Every structure is written in structure tokens, then in C-alpha cells.
């Protein structure tokens, strides 16, 4: 684990490498309120790969325009998503998720997450903004009805009995949005909305789709409530996350980035820790307890 401090409006914090970087982070957060912004790196220890980090699958996700543009695209997506759920749906919170629950006693106001896996809520975090939605829900694009993913998954199994016994998707084939690589999707039978017969889509924000305005406002309120923003496991490649870093940096407030690899927000950070989420959060919790 390494550190890097950059000069912004605030005086940069200089920490030594290794365990002392955790001590420095604890000193920064102690007696302060803070908000966490999490990305795919927060869930890699739960077996869910990211798009751009060391465990990424190097795959381009389906865009909203592509999904809504044709029935064939929906067929292709749902065939892949059906198999991806076999692993995604079994993922469990990791030590990093659990540490964030306990960190609520040490100034953590809440979490804004770019992830759709719902693991922060399942771990027990009380205040979570699922910026990009939740893969465990499905929405009808035509009537707006929402239903549980497990119910749609059961219907898809009934409609596609030939896939029922297929082996679970391997790690390298799974994508962070629950999608998976599937070659033979042409005969996959789609499930329609049980209420109106309309088109179903996982209740997540696809690339090219806008995050609902009220959700964005809630996220800004939560970010503003903290004196420090701590980014965990996000490359900040998409603007939906980077805008919060820019927002806090413009106000001259502390931004800490914990991530393996370069991020788009590095030049705006007060402090950059090169490391994983769980390996940073667990000792941080111990440091704040002492």
C-alpha cells in the first residue's frame, strides 16, 4: 500500500508508506464527518470483477440506446444477464463492506455507491444511495412496475429450460453489472411484464442513461453533509462519480482516494492511497478504535 499527496487548495498531507498511511487517514477522519463514494473495487473481494481495475473483464457494457433499440439486443442482454445472475446473486458482503457498517460510529454519514450489487445494504449500512440502481430489482420500461429479480429469474428458467442445468458463470466471464459473456443467445425466450406485457429491464442505470434527478440530489446532500469525501475502489472514469469529487474539491474540502491504479480524480485529491478497499478499511477501523 502506498500513498501520494497532491496540492489542492488545502495543504497536502504527507504520510509515510505502509501502516503509517492508515494512521494518517485515521488522523484526518478522527473528529470529522465524512461520506464514502464506492465503486466496483469495493466488491472485488466478493468475487465481482470491475471494468477497469486489475481484475477487470475488459468488456464494454450494453448501452441504454442499444438495449431499447431492438428486441434482439434485449434478447442478447437477458441471455447473458440470466447466467450472470447465477454468480452475482450469490455474492456476499466482504470485510470492506462490513467495516463501513462499523465506521458509522466514527463519523461516516453514509455511502454513495456506483455499484448495483446491493452489498452495502446487505452488510447493514444504514444510509446508502444506490446511484446506478439495484440489480436485484427489475423495472418495466412501458408501465414502470417494479418486481424482484428472483421472480423474473424464476420465470426465465421456466421459459428457457435448456439453460437450467448450465454450469455457473466463471469469474472471468462475469461483469460488474451482472452481465456475462454468452455466445448462443439467439433462441433465448424473454419474459414480459406480468402486468402489461411490456419490456423488462434490470432496475439499473445503463451506460448512456441518466441517473434520476432526485437520486442525484440525495447523493449531493449526503456528500455535502460530510467534511471529507473518501472515494473507495473507483477509477472515477464516468462523470456520475467524478462530479462529487469535483464538487468537494471546488469547495476546498478534503478528498481522499483509495484505489488500485490511476483515477480521473487523482489531481483533485488531498490524499491518494494506492491500495484495496478492505485492506484499507479494516485497519482504519482498528486505528479509529484506539
Range with the poorest average pLDDT among 43-57, 137-151, 163-177, 199-213: 163-177
**Average pLDDT of span 220-240:** 96
pLDDT at 84: 84
Query: Which among 72, 71, 256, 91 is positioned nearest to 168, based on CA atoms?
Result: 91
* Residue owning grid cell 478504535: 289
pLDDT at 13: 52
Contact 79, 67 (CB under 8 A): no
Residues written for the chain: 290
Beta bridge partners of 258: 232, 273
Q: What is the pLDDT of residues 43-69, one digit of tens each?
A: 999 998 765 444 334 456 789 999 999
> Any known ligand binding at 277?
no
Which CATH code is given to the segment(s) 64-92+135-204? 3.30.1600
173 pLDDT band, cuts 50/70/90, is very low
pLDDT at 56: 38
pLDDT at 174: 42
pLDDT at 103: 98
* Residue owning grid cell 412496475: 145
Per-residue pLDDT at 112 exceeds 70: yes
Catalytic residue among 120, 132, 187, 247: 132
- Domain extents in the chain: 2-47+93-133+211-289, 64-92+135-204
Active site residue 171: no
DSSP summary character for residue 245: H
- Diameter of the chain measured on Cα atoms: 62
Give CATH superfamily name and number for 2-47+93-133+211-289. TPP-binding domain (3.40.50.1220)
> Any known ligand binding at 196?
yes
Domains 2-47+93-133+211-289 and 64-92+135-204 share a fold: no
Per-residue pLDDT at 8 exceeds 70: no
Q: What angle do CA 217, 221, 227 make, to 5 degrees?
A: 150
pLDDT at 235: 96
Determine the 3-state secondary structure of 205 from DSSP: coil
pLDDT at 52: 46
> Any known ligand binding at 143?
yes
* pTM score: 0.86
Amino acid at each position: 500500500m502506498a500513498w501520494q499527496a497532491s496540492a489542492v487548495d488545502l495543504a497536502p498531507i504527507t504520510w509515510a508508506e505502509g501502516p503509517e498511511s492508515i494512521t494518517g487517514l485515521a488522523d484526518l477522519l478522527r473528529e470529522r464527518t465524512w461520506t464514502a463514494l464506492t465503486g466496483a473495487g469495493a466488491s472485488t473481494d466478493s468475487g465481482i470483477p470491475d471494468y477497469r481495475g486489475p481484475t477487470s473483464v475488459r468488456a464494454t457494457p450494453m448501452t441504454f440506446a442499444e438495449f431499447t433499440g431492438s428486441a434482439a439486443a434485449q434478447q442478447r442482454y437477458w441471455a447473458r444477464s440470466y447466467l450472470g445472475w447465477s454468480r452475482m446473486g450469490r455474492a456476499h458482503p466482504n470485510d470492506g463492506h462490513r467495516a463501513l457498517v462499523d465506521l458509522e460510529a466514527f463519523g461516516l454519514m453514509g455511502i454513495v455507491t456506483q455499484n448495483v450489487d446491493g452489498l452495502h445494504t446487505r452488510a447493514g449500512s444504514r444510509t446508502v444511495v444506490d446511484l446506478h440502481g439495484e440489480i436485484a430489482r427489475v423495472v418495466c420500461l412501458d408501465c414502470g412496475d417494479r418486481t424482484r429479480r428472483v421472480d423474473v429469474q424464476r420465470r426465465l428458467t421456466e421459459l428457457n429450460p435448456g439453460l437450467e442445468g448450465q454450469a455457473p458463470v466463471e469469474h472471468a466471464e462475469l461483469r460488474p453489472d451482472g452481465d456475462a459473456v454468452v455466445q448462443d443467445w439467439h433462441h433465448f425466450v424473454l419474459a414480459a411484464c406480468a402486468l402489461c406485457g411490456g419490456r423488462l429491464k434490470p432496475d439499473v442505470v445503463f451506460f448512456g442513461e441518466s441517473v434520476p434527478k432526485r437520486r442525484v440530489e440525495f447523493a449531493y446532500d449526503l456528500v455535502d453533509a460530510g467534511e471529507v469525501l473518501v472515494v473507495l475502489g473507483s477509477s472515477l472514469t464516468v462523470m456520475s462519480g467524478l462530479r462529487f469529487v469535483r464538487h468537494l474539491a471546488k469547495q476546498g474540502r478534503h478528498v481522499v482516494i483509495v484505489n488500485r491504479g490511476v483515477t480521473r480524480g487523482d489531481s483533485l485529491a488531498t490524499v491518494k492511497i494506492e491500495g484495496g478497499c478492505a485492506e484499507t478499511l479494516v485497519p482504519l477501523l482498528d486505528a479509529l478504535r484506539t
